[in-house]
Structure 1
């Protein structure tokens, strides 16, 4: 890794705060160093090859720049496409920006930019750019960041599609990196300022290397392996366990005195299909035989994974995302529940307690600041604990944005579980700069970063008011260069964390460690809220502070649209609608347009009708009342072909809503 000259590094530490901010800002757009360029202007395929038996040829039928491009035809599977060997080009620990221009020869689809790597002959796959709509009528740019974090003997980048095998044109392929900046060593460590509870970060293999590792150990007390402990990583095939992703992270944590949160033993996503396949080779159903087999597989999985790490993991998210507030009983209709009912939860916690008696065992979920969801979660935990199921705590994910939720809603989230006498942890916190799926900023706007700083300030102030209840806060990522929000809910660059893409402290960082150093608000419009000042010198005092007022919503409602699962030809979606007005509703209907021709085939939590692109969903008999400040949600299954664009506008009872 390259570093700036020592004199400049010293200046970054020694100069006043205002100057540090200016230096970091100026460094956001340095000249990148290009390590790879493919423009297909020489009449060859320039080193590209197919992943199978595809045909690759130089083409002059289309060109993004110049007169030539690469055409890949003869594809017989969606994962087949043009690929390029970058083993000798990419260096471990360096963050590369990879850019590819893509255009189909015919039709439309979603394209992805991916990486295949092999270690010891075992293949693994990383997604650089997620599903992006691409057609035959225009060139589309796929751009993403990739850091190789392990030693490999095989490394190729490639383009694949989601549902069809149409020929693909490629042009103007580049890879570049920006020389790393040294981390700022002269600023307070987050873990030294926040002493009421440990503060952690979710990590991948990239976060334990070079400057990333330095930033991690300087500021955080604990880590969560983001994907390395999930079922698809640890038991991809039955009774064959693989710890190659997680072991290096656990070893690093142990060597640097970092506690580890284990995430997660049971989830409805990232679980291999074989888990839910019966002995007859068919998908499991709610029979006694299938239930017994599923619970036996669950028992075996937990015994192996939890035992492998023993006392090195002191906290486990045993089960993840089991609540669906659109259901009348609040329980997610996952394969786990459909086959085994609540017994999968009982089994998971009891086996985890037996195998890891030292560990704290958690049930973890998102949107627990939504009243209906937290109430269902509370009822479930209360029931299971009354049965003797060993649940030690509730995890609140806290994936939020600069406008939502309110501090009052977050406080109610914590207060709800206090009577249960269990621990509470913030497990996956990030603060998106986006407030609607239709937004896409080339660079983070200053006003959004400022609002984000105030959100972090107020949320950490709230958490610090509960030192006996909140026992840990974990950010879902280390820095803005590696965040899941870059590809979810849509592909765009987000900036949800405390440190920017060059690992420099943002205003959000100062919101946590010393709010007096947040930049002055550019807006004269402020609203007053009471919060605990998280300044090191006054960490337990209460003060009144001002923060910018969020923009007024479009109407007295707010909608969140989420794709919760996707497969060839179909997807599962979820819509949450909040009544942000002052008048309670006794019935409701939500309307939007599916511009990609998607067709709903099944819906729960409401009733629906669809005419062409127009969709209308009305309340079910049991959820028609929507009080002021309340929310509800519904889910659906839908078909799609070609593209699956998210709706950009929703209405509630005819009134336009804000889209979160």
Structure 2
């Protein structure tokens, strides 16, 4: 058993056990305030022998609300930028791992496995690489892989060895590596990576290859040839930067054909972008699209995991590259869970949640959505999402509902609660009352119940 693979299995086994503990009927709970929350996406995926992770980048590691989600919700992390060549070898022969090491250390502290990204790519190269004479570049590439993969030996479970080497028509991209080394550079990169870290799984990674098309055919033929030649390739990464309502119909078929070659498949950079602003119709379509991708992966045993390309809309690369588009991820910019989150949650086997939404009309400017996200004998965890439904920003909100007979409210977070009999009132905390048009925030609570645990028949939201 390889060291990183063994660690991955230990992480998956531990989180799978946590899911069983959370979901077990008859779970003993001393009091509502000590109840366990519902399972995370990472735990749900682990129960199915997979991972569900997120990419991240160094600037966000100082954002406490962000890292609270990153460190708890996912069981895998990809280093989004700082393992790329421009960061790790900015000058020839001079290596710098300080930034990438910070992310790897974060993952290790939170018992998360790490995907390495990426050793050889035509983009984000320091300028000196392009100036290397053709006769020297193969040696330079091998030296870079030996140093970077060697530095992280035993710390990553996968390496994206080569990234985006094909054009849309299936021809080779004319990168500096292709031009100066030739077709053999990809195979040589995989050989060098295997020598540097014999235990890491080695992946080829690309975009627009989620369905069957000319580009994925070229990738398929390369992998097939590598397997026949004994070139050490263990997996393919389907990036899955997708567009709302345009999920290829052949995703599952495509995953299966690569698996049939004897390699693993990972969804490595998932996001599903839309024309902004969001609305309920777009959210519903996005949720269906995320569910379809997760289901396609789960349908193939060798589809080992899914990584979203960061998890919050406020930290997505999409708006800077596709003007007028965004809202591509499963949390909004305020770290509230979107419908797409719940679609993933349920596709991974989470208990379907009950939702009741009541809008306050044109004058109130907000809506509230009530969900039960986890339940056990006599207790439950609830979450309410507040959305600004008006056309202008709001500076405060108040949510009200009536507890059913036998229900009691316990601890509340991200809101200020009061009760009168069975009537509950929750006002915004000092930091989450301001919402832009269509902006959202959430508050959560622990409750107890006797008998049944119905959702409220009505929940209202008013603005300040």
TM-score range, shorter chain: 0.5 to 0.7
Q: Which runs of 4+ in 1 moved over 6 A?
A: 518-521
* Residue in structure 2 matching 1:503, options 307, 330, 335: 335
Change (3 A) 1:518 1:322: farther
**3-state SS of 1:305 partner:** helix
Query: 1:187: Cα distance to partner?
Result: 4.7
Change (3 A) 1:387 1:431: same
Residue deviations 1:403-430, cap 9 Å, x none?
A: 1123x32112212212211111110001
- The separation in 1 between residues aligned to 2:178 and 2:355, in whole angstroms, is 49
Which structure has the greater CA radius of gyration? 1
- The separation in 2 between residues aligned to 1:310 and 1:293, in whole angstroms, is 25
Query: 1:395: Cα distance to partner?
Result: 0.6
More helix per residue? 2
- The separation in 2 between residues aligned to 1:227 and 1:264, in whole angstroms, is 8
Which residue in 1 is equivalent to 2:54?
201
- The separation in 1 between residues aligned to 2:354 and 2:226, in whole angstroms, is 44
- The separation in 1 between residues aligned to 2:73 and 2:59, in whole angstroms, is 16
Change (3 A) 1:486 1:387: same
**3-state SS of 2:105 partner:** helix
Which residue in 2 is equivalent to 1:371?
213
Residue 180 (structure 2) pairs with residue 339 (structure 1): yes
Change (3 A) 1:211 1:536: closer
- 8 Å Cα contact 2:72/2:110 also seen in 1: no
Query: 1:432: Cα distance to partner?
Result: 0.7
Residue 157 (structure 2) pairs with residue 314 (structure 1): yes
Change (3 A) 1:334 1:507: same
Which residue in 2 is equivalent to 1:514?
346
- Unpaired runs of 5+ in structure 1? 1-184, 280-289, 435-440, 522-534, 538-660
Query: 1:519: Cα distance to partner?
Result: 6.7
Which residue in 2 is equivalent to 1:624?
none
Which residue in 2 is equivalent to 1:419?
260
Query: 1:192: Cα distance to partner?
Result: 2.1
- 8 Å Cα contact 1:433/1:449 also seen in 2: no
Residue deviations 1:83-122, cap 9 Å, x none?
A: xxxxxxxxxxxxxxxxxxxxxxxxxxxxxxxxxxxxxxxx
- 8 Å Cα contact 1:514/1:536 also seen in 2: no
Residue 306 (structure 2) pairs with residue 463 (structure 1): no
- 8 Å Cα contact 2:287/2:340 also seen in 1: yes
Count of matched residue positions in the alignment of Structure 1 and Structure 2:
318
Change (3 A) 1:300 1:381: same
- The separation in 2 between residues aligned to 1:333 and 1:205, in whole angstroms, is 31
Which residue in 1 is equivalent to 2:311?
478
Query: 1:370: Cα distance to partner?
Result: 4.3
- Unpaired runs of 5+ in structure 2? 1-35, 358-372, 376-464
**3-state SS of 2:115 partner:** strand
- The separation in 2 between residues aligned to 1:518 and 1:204, in whole angstroms, is 34
**3-state SS of 1:302 partner:** helix
Q: CA RMSD in A?
A: 2.3
* Residue in structure 2 matching 1:305, options 125, 148, 151: 148
- The separation in 1 between residues aligned to 2:166 and 2:193, in whole angstroms, is 20
- The separation in 2 between residues aligned to 1:518 and 1:415, in whole angstroms, is 34
- The separation in 2 between residues aligned to 1:265 and 1:399, in whole angstroms, is 20
Query: 1:243: Cα distance to partner?
Result: 1.4
Query: 1:379: Cα distance to partner?
Result: 0.5
* Residue in structure 2 matching 1:273, options 85, 103, 127: 127
